[in-house]
Chain A
Amino acid sequence: MNENSYETVIGLEVHAQLLTETKLFCSCRPEYGADPNTRVCPVCMGLPGALPVLNKESVTMAIMMGLALECDIAPESVFSRKNYFYPDCPKNYQISMYDKPLCGNGSLKIETDAGERTIGVERIHLEDDSGKMSHETGRGSLVDFNRCGVPLIEIVSRPDIRTGGEAAEYLMRLQQILRYLGICDGNLEEGSMRCDVNISLRRTGSGKLGTKTEIKNLNSFKAVQKGIEFEVERQRSLLERGKRVEQITNLWDQDRGRLVMMRSKEEAHDYRYFPEPDLLPLEVQGEWIEQAREMIPELPIERERRFKNEYGLSSYDCGVLCADKGVADYFEIVAKTTGLAKKSSNWVMREVMGELNNLACAIEDFPVYPENLAKLIKLVQDGTISGSAGREVFEEMIKSGGGPEEIIKRLGLEQISNSIEIESIIEEIISDHPDEVSRYREGKKKLLGFFVGQVMKKSRGKANPKLARDIIIGKLGG
């Protein structure tokens, strides 16, 4: 049987924790890493008699994401109760949107090997998070309710994704947008962004979906891609042997790089959804949507397009610079201050991003301020220091955090632009290399580079290479 006779159909459910001041239904402040059960109140603990009151900020953030993904915003959406027993869910129901979500019918463009593809976004809805269990030998099972009631948005894609790579790309794009909007820190390892995947295979060309399975607990882009590839192969092999795919839920085992079955369809829950009677339907008027729209900054795709037009950079450079909003902001300050887009882009992409990688540091914490980098680039450009000295100054700026002028002075790196000084160096070189001089004069003009190199070497890099070149030509002839 031909390997291409099956088509993979993948849908993603992504949970993103919103960076609100307070929880979804109470005034507790969420705080990652706080001592267990210290960020709780009767409401988020679901104590008898306590009632939820909706936090408007979370709605605004959800609308922002909806608009960023070109969704329709529902004028009326409804919270429902999703009933299930679990010890870290204090009410034993979760408050989530079910049949009337806040945002629907959106899309997201991703770059794939096959070119740009559009992935449909079926819905975005708000819901509250549950707590956290830990099972400790000797101490039994412990519950931390701090995370209870933390606002989440769930972004559900249409089953438009075809490969693990596309899924990872889609997820990366979502993370990028969430971070641009400033509504989620997108941290997969800490669980502030979580991803569940639905996968099914069908005969190529068939309109009917196959039986789907679910993978939960994917906490990295790599895990998403690997998990999907693993599951696609498993399903393909079953189908090719004429066997049936059972509807199951798998967990991704990070350490062993394989899937572990969590539950089968028979154990699936009946959530008994019904409208949450403690909350009125959520009405979102035009003004609210406009307020949310105004809070949306320029998004990565628009920004890449603008960088291309405004700074004349390559698509690749624009993509790299805009991947992180902080880096793009940094670049813009440097480029605007220097007026040298390409040079600024090179510096930011090579030196700055290289160092960020080495230091495992966020751009916001990078010791070299963009204003100082701009000064440095200008100093190199106007010949005050050489390019190689520039890199030395940059290293020093990372260590000390100081400005470039001060460092140049301290290290004595000013370029020699004094023609008399350079002339005397050139005189010495001419007398030291008579052979090269005569070969040059015989027409081997390529030796010009050799002479300039000698000048730089003798001046320990401080000579202005352009000036040196002019003087050599003057002395030896063009």
Chain B
Amino acid sequence: MSISELRKLYSENKVKPSEVVRSCLDSISSNDSRIEAFINVIPEDAMKRARHLDLESSGGMPLYGIPIAVKDNICTKGYETTCASKILEGYRPPYNATVVDRLLEAGAVILGKTNMDEFAMGSSTENSAYKITKNPYNTEYAPGGSSGGSAAAVAASMVPVSLGSDTGGSIRQPASLCGVVGLKGTYGRVSRYGLIAFASSLDQIGPITRTVEDSAAVMNVISGWDSRDATTIPDSTGDLTRGIEKGAEGMKIAVPRGYEEMDVAGEIKEILKGTIEKLEAENANVEFVELPDMDASIACYYILANAEASSNLARYDGVKYAFRAESESLEEMYERTRGEGFGDEVKRRVLLGTYVLSAGYYDAYYKKAQQVRAMICSKFESLFSRYDLVMLPTVPGPSFRIGERIDNPIEMYLSDIFTTPANIAGLPAISVPAGFAENGLPLGIQLLAGYAGEAKLLRGAAVLERMYGFNGNKTE
């Protein structure tokens, strides 16, 4: 069930929020022991809120009665928010993230917090301190990460929509591996206030949905300037659900030159080829271009993201909240709290980040990465002065078996190769389910747009969605 379908049912008085929420909660209790998408479910409070909404009219609330799952790195007042880390076990924020306030104002009902890679570091949702989320298409496979719980919850029809966060592809990559739509807006489109930071200059919250239209509807609600986040941009895109049905005619779309030789699954190449033909048949203008260097982009990403992470994660020291290891001295408390509270991947990245920022290495790593970033930004700027969209794979291939890559960080990092450029350049990007690999697992195609180009992006995504024949009902 998509948001638009639910909205129709509500407007026709065919169903009440409490019935919809109840059915989602039922779906969670029957499916989640298998999928393990949720870290926490809040059935009583969700039902209470839904019954309250039953008594209100839906007027003026764009997400009236829409059940939603929220990634566990987004602060929910009074509800445990852990980033899937032991170090934040039991932490209940005293405030809501701006996106949460906006969802509640819009009438949405939060059902629970979804599993993720610890502190959003990972591409498989295997790096959680609590559980490993499974791909709903095949539970031996990873759902992708780090928003794997949010993607799996939507893919398994436990909720129609969820929120994820995307630092280097963490919304689009699991969306692609789980066969759902994942959108990351322009950096600053959605307030980060209340999003527990991984890498501040890259992080963005975004929706994971069954359809492109739903993605636009959620984006409408959560985006816009926020006085509490100095990096937000004024919202000038208007209603993003309008104009997405305009079609491909006249759109100028760039595709990486030589995509046939790229190290990606054959099925994806086939899909791209077919898409290009169909787009041209619909009078879109497709051209092959040199994309900004992907290898440089991913290297730059891992330096900047980890540098910022090392600083952002310094606050977890056992002094103020959540987990504290017993110890004799302050120094020992810091060491043991962080030693026992953080998982291996987090430690690996904090160490890397600390290293690249330290005296003597700053110029060679951090400063160089900043320069590469500026170069990538300007290349994209010039590219988007000539094209409306860039089309490329979201991930090099379908999902992988759980455990298959966990001991090979480099291979894991490379699964973000097509997604990081959008974060580096702060551009909006979306992954749309494009079909299936031979093993029956979903594949996604990604679109990128220029700065603040969400409207174009969603219009293009709606074209792909129609071409691939997905209407949000693939697993039902």
* Co-assembled chains A and B: yes
Residues of A within 8 A of B (CB): 42-43, 45-54, 81, 83, 85, 87, 90-93, 141, 143, 270, 272-274, 277-280
- Which residues of chain B have a CB within 8 Å of any CB of chain A? 73-75, 81, 83, 88, 91, 93-95, 97, 192-197, 199-201, 227-231, 307-308, 310-311, 314-315, 317, 319-321, 330, 334, 354, 357-359, 362, 366
By a CB distance below 8 angstroms, the chain B residues around A53 are 227-230
Q: How far is the CA of A441 from the CA of B307 in the complex (A)?
A: 101
Decide: A278 near B230, CB < 8 A? Known: A49-B195, A90-B320, A143-B319: yes
Least CB separation from A272: chain B residue: B357
Is the beta-carbon distance between A48 and B230 smaller than 8 angstroms? no
Smallest CB separation, A60 vs chain B (Å)? 17
Among candidates A48, A270, A272, residue contacting B88 with C-beta atoms closer than 8 Å: A48
Q: Are B228 and A51 in contact (CB under 8 A)?
A: yes
Interface contact B231-A280, CB-CB below 8 Å: yes
| CB-CB nearest 3 A-B residue pairs | A92-B314, A277-B201, A277-B200
Give the residue name and chain of the A residue nearest to B321 (CB). A47
Q: Are B94 and A42 in contact (CB under 8 A)?
A: yes
Contact A51 B192 (CB under 8 A): yes
Q: How far is the CA of A42 from the CA of B319 in the complex (A)?
A: 15
> Given A53-B227, A270-B359, are A48 and B314 also a contact pair (CB < 8 Å)?
no
The answer on a CB contact under 8 Å between B317 and A85 is yes
Evaluate contact between B315 and A48: CB separation under 8 angstroms.
Answer: yes
Indicate if the CB atoms of A85 and B314 lie closer than 8 Å.
yes
- Within 8 Å by CB of A52, from B97, B230, B319, B366, lies B230
CB distance from B191 to the nearest CB of A (A): 8
Residues of chain B within 8 A (CB-CB) of A48 are 75, 81, 83, 88, 91, 93, 196-197, 315
In contact, B330 and A87 (Cβ under 8 angstroms): yes
Give Cα A237–Cα B230 distance, bound, in whole angstroms: 53
The answer to whether B359 touches A46 (Cβ under 8 A) is no
B113 to chain A, nearest CB (A): 13
Q: Which of B94, B196, B311, B354 touches A93 (beta carbons < 8 Å)?
A: B311
CA distance A52 to B192 in the complex (A): 11
Q: How many A-B residue pairs have CB under 8 A?
A: 99
Q: List 12 A-B contacts (CB under 8 A).
A: A42-B94, A47-B321, A49-B97, A50-B193, A50-B194, A85-B314, A87-B317, A90-B320, A92-B317, A272-B354, A274-B357, A278-B231
Given A45-B320, A48-B88: A54 touches B97 (CB 8 Å cut-off): no
| Residues in chain A near residue B320, CB distance under 8 A | 45, 90
Whether A49 contacts B230 by the Cβ 8 Å rule is no
Give min CB distance, B211 to chain A, whole Å: 29
Are A274 and B75 interface neighbours, CB within 8 A?
no
Bound: A46/B319 CA distance, A: 12
With A90-B320, A143-B319 as contacts: A51 and B311 at CB distance below 8 Å: no
B197 contact set on A, CB distance < 8 A: 48-49, 278
Alpha-carbon distance between A50 and B88 when the two chains are bound, in angstroms: 15
Q: How far is the CA of A42 from the CA of B94 in the complex (A)?
A: 8
Cβ of B91: which chain A residues have Cβ within 8 Å of it?
Answer: 48
Instruction: List 19 additional A-B contacts (Cβ < 8 Å) besides A45-B320, A83-B314.
Output: A47-B321, A48-B197, A49-B74, A49-B97, A49-B192, A53-B227, A93-B311, A141-B330, A272-B311, A272-B354, A272-B359, A274-B307, A274-B362, A274-B366, A277-B199, A277-B201, A278-B229, A278-B230, A279-B230
Give Cα A48–Cα B230 distance, bound, in whole angstroms: 16
Most A Cβ at <10 Å: residue of B74, B81, B230: B230
